[in-house]
Amino acid sequence: MGRKEWNCMAIDDNDDAQIQLNHVIQFNSLAGEILETRATMLSLSWKNDKPQFTLLFEVSKMTYETILSQESFGLYPNVRTGGAEIEFTPSNPIELNVVLRQPLSDAFVARGEDIEDVLACLLQPDQKAGGALINSESWLATEVKQLIELPGDLVNKGSLKSGYRTAWIDILIDKRTTSVVSEIEEASLVVSLNEVIESYFSAKEWAFERLDDSLLRLAVKGEQGDWVTLVQTDEEDQRCIVYSVYPDLVPESRREAMAAILTQENYEMPVGNFEMDLTDGEVRFRTSIEVVKHQFTSEWFERMFMVNISITDGYFALISGEINIEQ
């Protein structure tokens, strides 16, 4: 496919340009799904000496619902001003107006590339920076519309579209400060610790019991034995702690010896630590994580959780043997 298969039209003397299209472009969502669109126009405009690439494309209602559910193209709930209430029909395609994120626009122009280079990357993503441009999160949706079927007496007298604008249109089109963009994205991407943890256990089909807003419990069956694991969260301080509790209590006569053993093991322990309650002899293994800027993911939790389970199981025979040693 050559660059000249489309018709590029200059809009004015400021290097603004517009290309009319009828091409399929497939975007990759963060969830790894393909979002198929039909592009109808790509434009380049300059605002405050900054390049702005805008793409207009159509999607089916099913694809739009996937976009919404995955919050692709920056369609977070708090930027869809009034958009959540609109019911689009499956009869007509849904039109999205999306703007390329400013750092990508700046990078293309800095390399001396133009609107046709951007289009070439979108249609031939194996070349240049197409890999970045076909990621849905490289673009932010500013408008979502659909053509409305007019009554019989108004057919052929014009067209009417219904839809909504997003908060991105004020930030990107009106060129407000980039700090506002960061604030909206950060607020939209915040997911509670409990949501991440419960989603992880649900995906793994691991039964758990929530004891209160900050604590859940689950039964673990390891290779060496069975025990109870507790997961404690602190949403305000963004802290998550996992405790695996050994089933047997250390007899009072064995606590001093057990304390010495655990202290020695903790000295060489690369992750986590053993703890013992000297009042009742309970032994547990603890791992924890301090979350930075709400960047807590299921991958981070799984790493901390599985390290805890693995070490607890690996030391099960040693701990149980010391607890039950003959006096």
**How many other β-carbons are positioned within 10 Å of the β-carbon of residue 114?**
15
Give residue limits of the domains in the chain: 3-189, 193-323
**How many other β-carbons are positioned within 10 Å of the β-carbon of residue 92?**
15
CATH class of residue range 193-323: alpha beta
What mean pLDDT do residues 294-314 have? 86
CB neighbour list of residue 195: distance below 8 Å, 6 or more residues apart: none
The pLDDT assigned to 161 comes to 74
Quick one: which of 251, 252, 272, 247 has its CA closest to 262? Answer: 272
- Asked if 12 and 83 touch (Cβ cutoff 8 Å), the reply is no
Kindly state the helix (H) or strand (E) to which residue 316 belongs, with its residue range: helix 316-323
Q: Which of 45-49, 124-128, 196-200 has the lowest mean pLDDT?
A: 124-128
- Asked if 117 and 88 touch (Cβ cutoff 8 Å), the reply is no
Instruction: Give the separation between CA 268 and CA 197, rounded to whole angstroms.
Output: 29
User: For residues 107, 111, 114 and 115, what is the CA-based torsion angle, rounded to 10 degrees?
Assistant: -30
What mean pLDDT do residues 71-93 have? 80
Say how many Å lie between the first and final Cα of the chain, rounded: 83
Q: Mind listing the pLDDT tens digit for each residue in 44-67?
A: 988 777 888 999 999 999 999 999
Residue whose entry in the numeric block shows the structure tokens 């800095």: 110
Q: How many CA atoms lie within 13 A of 297 on its CB side?
A: 5
Q: Mind listing the pLDDT tens digit for each residue in 209-236?
A: 999 999 999 999 999 999 999 999 998 8
DSSP result, 188-245: HH---HHHHHHHHHHHTT---EEEETTEEEEEEE-SS-EEEEEEEEETTTTEEEEEEE
The pLDDT assigned to 297 comes to 77
Instruction: Give the separation between CA 309 and CA 313, rounded to whole angstroms.
Output: 6
Instruction: Give the separation between CA 145 and CA 83, rounded to whole angstroms.
Output: 10
Whether the model clears a pTM of 0.75, i.e. scores above it, the answer is: no
Quick one: which of 200, 186, 295, 184 has its CA closest to 238? Answer: 295
When pLDDT is cut at 50, 70 and 90, the band that residue 208 belongs to is very high
Instruction: Give the separation between CA 166 and CA 311, rounded to whole angstroms.
Output: 49
Instruction: Give the separation between CA 257 and CA 242, rounded to whole angstroms.
Output: 25
CB neighbour list of residue 172: distance below 8 Å, 6 or more residues apart: 52, 99, 102, 140, 142, 181
Q: Mind listing the pLDDT tens digit for each residue in 21-43?
A: 999 999 988 888 899 999 999 99
When pLDDT is cut at 50, 70 and 90, the band that residue 283 belongs to is very high
Is 175 strand, coil or helix? coil
Quick one: which of 52, 49, 55, 46 has its CA closest to 19? Answer: 55
Instruction: Give the separation between CA 263 and CA 120, rounded to whole angstroms.
Output: 63
